[in-house]
Structure 1
């Protein structure tokens, strides 16, 4: 194999590895593929999504989140209220033993307010998740042009303004 072919193989292997979902561990909590959708520069907020799995025998709960790219990060949920889809702040998100909680458009998500700027597709930013038992873990959120194809089924894509 020529040096050129060898180098090209390495480049494709590395690029393929970077494109794959990334995951993190915090105690018994497994965090899979944190991502955010690229937003227009004038959008007042953004959202972060991921999947939480509790592989332990005890319940845990997500207490909050923070990131240096936003002045404020809040846990939110979309819910049907009086026949309308509404978004509201939730103080905590419970994760029972053996359970999975999907943070997806139209469901749970982390709202990011007071952004220093909107992140563009291809960028990444740190997001620290704070759990009651598992403690804190900082994940890298991949900014994507659209939802990843490997994301869990999305429940009613809704756009919302704050």
Structure 2
């Protein structure tokens, strides 16, 4: 059986394959799924930045923990917890992040209370459209390399990575 594509069909297929919206932006390690790693652009001279994950889902019957992360774009990565204390946002490094069995955890920008990955010693500013590797280290699932997309929120006041993908 031969399959023939018309010129129009060929163009549609090529456009679909080339479209960034068709690219998967979730990553798996065992029963863990990490969806949409993203960062916001940083200003020149700024040596810190944040990485966020739309969600980490644990399909296992066992709890896992995110215990470390590393990337070539920064000297070190720390797991941080944010907490709104009255009018003041407090942030502190934490040793790990529990991913409950059959549960999920979000690391979202602008969430008020929550977690993120803090990049310290950025080697260059993070720029809109840039992508970079980040290795997440889980206690049970092991290491997982993800690709972080640097993106500006599509609407003022909206966190990057919220709503539909902006890439």
Structure 1 counterpart of 2:17: 14
Report which of the two structures shows the higher radius of gyration computed on alpha carbons. 2
CA contact 2:64–2:99 (8 Å) conserved in 1: yes
Aligned length: 150
CA contact 2:52–2:117 (8 Å) conserved in 1: yes
Question: For the residues of structure 1 that align with 2:80 and 2:69, how far apart are their CA atoms?
Answer: 11
CA offset digits 1:86-114 (Å, max 9, x no partner): 11111100111011100011421000011
1:80 shift after superposition? 2.8
**136-145 vs 78-87, which deviates more?**
78-87
Alignment of 1:61-72 (within 5 A): 61-72=65-76
Structure 2 counterpart of 1:94: 98
Q: Indicate whether 1:136 and 2:134 are aligned.
A: no
- Aligned pair partner of 1:59 in 48, 59, 63: 63
CA offset digits 1:13-45 (Å, max 9, x no partner): 134344655101112111001111112222221
Alignment of 1:8-157 (within 5 A): 8-18=11-21, 22-50=25-53, 51-81=55-85, 84-105=88-109, 106=112, 107-146=114-153, 147-150=160-163
1:66 shift after superposition? 0.3
Gaps of 5+ in 1: 152-162
> TM-score of the superposition, structure 1-length normalised?
0.83
Change (3 A) 1:120 1:55: same
Change (3 A) 1:120 1:83: closer
Runs of 4+ in structure 1 off by over 3 angstroms are 5-8, 15-21
CA contact 1:65–1:128 (8 Å) conserved in 2: yes
CA contact 2:16–2:22 (8 Å) conserved in 1: no
Question: For the residues of structure 2 that align with 1:47 and 1:119, how far apart are their CA atoms?
Answer: 10
Gaps of 5+ in 2: 154-159
